[in-house]
Structure 1
């Protein structure tokens, strides 16, 4: 099942001169929302003088291009994708952007086969690996780190609340009392505030767990391995999640949780984070310049999700009803109704492909963000001082939406990938938020944006936790 160790390819200083200095192995999970923040963290660690090697499969090398240009000291180790695992069809792709939803679970499990060749690579280095930092979906690196005799750090691209809830799920395996009740409430008494969520809002990775099934058990073991890490690092800050990081979380085994976000702010990255934008940032800015402060609604459902035709049609109908100016970033595969662009051209911009999201959110004209609540999008909006209208679909998005509402910067518009909301209800919720009713929330968003900027500045909470992480990794 394992890729042959001799097929691993190293570039840069990963096979250095054995000088005994710290050398950190970074293992991202190949999904855009996971890779971007971890690569931002790698850039920050490299800037602090750490030697790093990033491990990727052959098909994901291109995703490192921006990092390697900005940080030429960072090395890479390239491994063949474990296509012989038997869990995936041949030629299915090496990044979740290339996968249909039903293959993501076996994809996560298949990557565990990289452990053996990566371990062989690590043992062969003259500059030995002194620590491993890995994504929460690559927890199979924890026993790898143990075999190398070095600390392991789990990185969560989501917030601390989701980290605690998901860890609790996999450790405790709560059972449903009624298999037909998707709204059955699951409580988490050991998480601060004792949150509870309906079954249908829990992680789909967990909801599809079947005891004894190879994929299910591999995924559970990945999360259980994470609990053995030396510490946890999240792309968040205490201004957003103080309650979930300032006291030990039982399901994280009382380990330290370090907040180092918002990472995009700390790095100072802009439109080149995810690729070449479909529209030049200057063109979008020029279009937005025509509108008043806070009057424009930005809409995006992330890089992983294409809205169904019926959802896209309902959203288009709602936008026609409210008459507010908007920018709609449309993922490939989303069917915007025919004629919609032309009918709304005087007050709307539809971007098909990658949008310069951070630049859009930072423009003075943008006051609200209709979002699926993927954490990268949410924290970019928070850092930009933009309030949110939430339409959670899957994964961590329901937990994130709950946190954002609790923080006072978001209000729900709809929820679920399978429910079909009424266009009038969507329009009413948007119009209410963008009117006088939403002003306190907008003010709170601006205040929180200032707090997150202070967190990543020198002396701030995230800056200080990044310094702590650097010391941990330097000690090896």
Structure 2
């Protein structure tokens, strides 16, 4: 499938840019460092998707590429510039191009320029609307004295593929998730399997072309696919974005060979006539860009001092990510399970989650639990010797942080790629399921039994595998490791400029 940028612009002509053409034709480059950072060097344009879980790993990759001498420019809309400040402070040679946020008939005015500022029902129209950035970004690329020589783009910004074709440069699709997700999600968008009946929530979809022929219930497939409506403008735009990715020169995944060897080492359908570089865990490879979440609600030293009072592996860390607020019944279930299991715990509670009254006071009085309201120093918590288990929604960034720390997981996938992520962890033998589904409120007693068994002797074998996988993760990003070597291979691809 070859689609020119002229076709792209016509297809998204219904998504006008929210500034006069005389203004958006000349997006602003950063004044401090200069676009391209010198003549004669490869100049890579990096296009992140404005969601925290997507931006952070791609910026980690950008930091690693910059450290290897590539000139980079990161494309960002005005409302996301401040989020780049820690990254740019650590990587001052990286330039930015600031684009006006596009207006769209699908979005209310002033709705926000990052998914953290949006309600869930706007995520899909937001993704589709960003495709209108193609025209001003192409205009900027053509205006540069040092031309762009490659584009590295998030899977959710696959509309950059025709732009790369127009420029005659390689396009690299970046997955902030794993290779398993990369294969299955593109298989979905290419094959478009459907439910036989509208009420067939339990029907399964089998991926016979993927190693191991994995099957997932319909309800566990990525929700963005499940709500696709043929002929609907937003739905068809999103599908086209994913199909464009398949035409990329190569792919990059934030994963590592020891975690999902079956998917990394074998050719995969549609994608693997092209190379996939598994370069993760990126957060473990980058140590100079760690100002990620602002000021923590509790100082890392205070948490560490509290954890020091417990034996190795005795504490369960509980966190469901930055965008998943538990319902009152779910929060009550988690609180009940923690109380009934008698395990020591640290619970990072997202804004909007209501902890049952009296629970925190009782846990504090018993010196058995700590509740953190707001951003928690998650990496430091996971790397403390006392933390042996992580009750998680299976967001991939959290999974990799736990994996790198050698911590076993209690899994409760809720949506997006999380069911696939939980499957990868189960295959690796480093996780125990406790629940699944965004609307599920599991039985507190049953969850307590799983927690208690995990922390006790029954969970030792899983913990040992998690510790070993943590060693493999560290080895992967070290010099000569699989991820390190794949990163060097990616650099060679991006440096191969005529």
Cα deviation for residue 241 of structure 1 reads 1.1
Matched residue, 2:433: 412
Output one character per residue of 1:416-462: Cα deviation in whole Å (capped at 9) or x when no partner. 01122111111111111111111000000000000110000000000
Q: Is 1:69 aligned to 2:83, yes or no?
A: no
Q: Which moved more, 1:170-179 or 1:233-242?
A: 170-179
Matched residue, 1:403: 424
1:154 to 169, 173, 181: 173
Q: Is 1:255 aligned to 2:274, yes or no?
A: yes
Matched residue, 2:3: none
Q: Which moved more, 1:417-426 or 1:114-123?
A: 417-426
Partner secondary structure for residue 229 of structure 2: coil
Q: Is 1:423 aligned to 2:444, yes or no?
A: yes
What is the TM-score when the length of structure 2 is the normalising length? 0.94
Matched residue, 2:121: 102
Partner secondary structure for residue 56 of structure 1: strand
Cα deviation for residue 178 of structure 1 reads 2.5
Alignment of 1:77-156 (within 5 A): 77-82=97-102, 84-156=103-175
Cα deviation for residue 275 of structure 1 reads 2.4
Partner secondary structure for residue 405 of structure 1: helix
Cα deviation for residue 17 of structure 1 reads 7.8
Output one character per residue of 1:72-92: Cα deviation in whole Å (capped at 9) or x when no partner. 00000111111x211111111
Q: Which moved more, 1:463-472 or 1:270-279?
A: 270-279
Separation in structure 2 between the aligned mates of residue 41 and residue 326 of structure 1, nearest angstrom = 33
Partner secondary structure for residue 459 of structure 1: coil
Partner secondary structure for residue 257 of structure 1: strand
Separation in structure 1 between the aligned mates of residue 273 and residue 290 of structure 2, nearest angstrom = 38
Matched residue, 1:209: 228
Matched residue, 1:31: 51
Cα deviation for residue 174 of structure 1 reads 0.7
Matched residue, 1:42: 62
Alpha carbons 1:190, 1:251 under 8 Å: kept: no
Separation in structure 1 between the aligned mates of residue 221 and residue 37 of structure 2, nearest angstrom = 47
Matched residue, 1:21: 41
Separation in structure 2 between the aligned mates of residue 18 and residue 43 of structure 1, nearest angstrom = 17
Output one character per residue of 1:389-426: Cα deviation in whole Å (capped at 9) or x when no partner. 00010000001001101100001001101122111111
Q: Quick one: structure 1 residues 16 and 428, their matched pair in 2 at CA, closer, same or farther if it must change by over 3 Å?
A: closer
Partner secondary structure for residue 25 of structure 1: strand
Q: Which moved more, 1:194-203 or 1:419-428?
A: 419-428
Matched residue, 1:321: 340
Separation in structure 2 between the aligned mates of residue 269 and residue 360 of structure 1, nearest angstrom = 19
Q: Is 1:226 aligned to 2:250, yes or no?
A: no
Q: Quick one: structure 1 residues 319 and 92, their matched pair in 2 at CA, closer, same or farther if it must change by over 3 Å?
A: same
2:411 to 390, 410, 417: 390
Alpha carbons 1:14, 1:127 under 8 Å: kept: no
Separation in structure 2 between the aligned mates of residue 16 and residue 383 of structure 1, nearest angstrom = 33
Matched residue, 1:293: 312
Matched residue, 1:440: 461
Q: Quick one: structure 1 residues 409 and 17, their matched pair in 2 at CA, closer, same or farther if it must change by over 3 Å?
A: closer
What is the TM-score when the length of structure 1 is the normalising length? 0.98
Alignment of 1:325-364 (within 5 A): 325-345=344-364, 346-364=367-385
Partner secondary structure for residue 434 of structure 2: strand
Separation in structure 2 between the aligned mates of residue 309 and residue 270 of structure 1, nearest angstrom = 35
Q: Quick one: structure 1 residues 16 and 410, their matched pair in 2 at CA, closer, same or farther if it must change by over 3 Å?
A: closer
Q: Quick one: structure 1 residues 330 and 21, their matched pair in 2 at CA, closer, same or farther if it must change by over 3 Å?
A: same
Matched residue, 1:279: 298
For these two proteins, the number of residue pairs brought into alignment is 475
Q: Quick one: structure 1 residues 337 and 132, their matched pair in 2 at CA, closer, same or farther if it must change by over 3 Å?
A: same
Alpha carbons 2:205, 2:218 under 8 Å: kept: yes
Separation in structure 1 between the aligned mates of residue 150 and residue 216 of structure 2, nearest angstrom = 36
Cα deviation for residue 9 of structure 1 reads 1.0
Cα deviation for residue 224 of structure 1 reads 0.3
Q: Quick one: structure 1 residues 284 and 388, their matched pair in 2 at CA, closer, same or farther if it must change by over 3 Å?
A: same
Output one character per residue of 1:3-62: Cα deviation in whole Å (capped at 9) or x when no partner. 543351111445358723210000000111101100000000000000000011111111
Compute the RMSD of aligned alpha carbons.
Answer: 1.2
Alpha carbons 2:36, 2:43 under 8 Å: kept: no
Cα deviation for residue 112 of structure 1 reads 0.5
Q: Is 1:51 aligned to 2:66, yes or no?
A: no
Separation in structure 1 between the aligned mates of residue 315 and residue 431 of structure 2, nearest angstrom = 16
Output one character per residue of 1:241-279: Cα deviation in whole Å (capped at 9) or x when no partner. 111011211121521110100001111258522322111
Q: Runs of at least 4 residues of structure 1 off by over 6 A?
A: none
Q: Quick one: structure 1 residues 16 and 421, their matched pair in 2 at CA, closer, same or farther if it must change by over 3 Å?
A: closer
> Any stretches of 5+ residues in structure 2 without a counterpart?
1-15
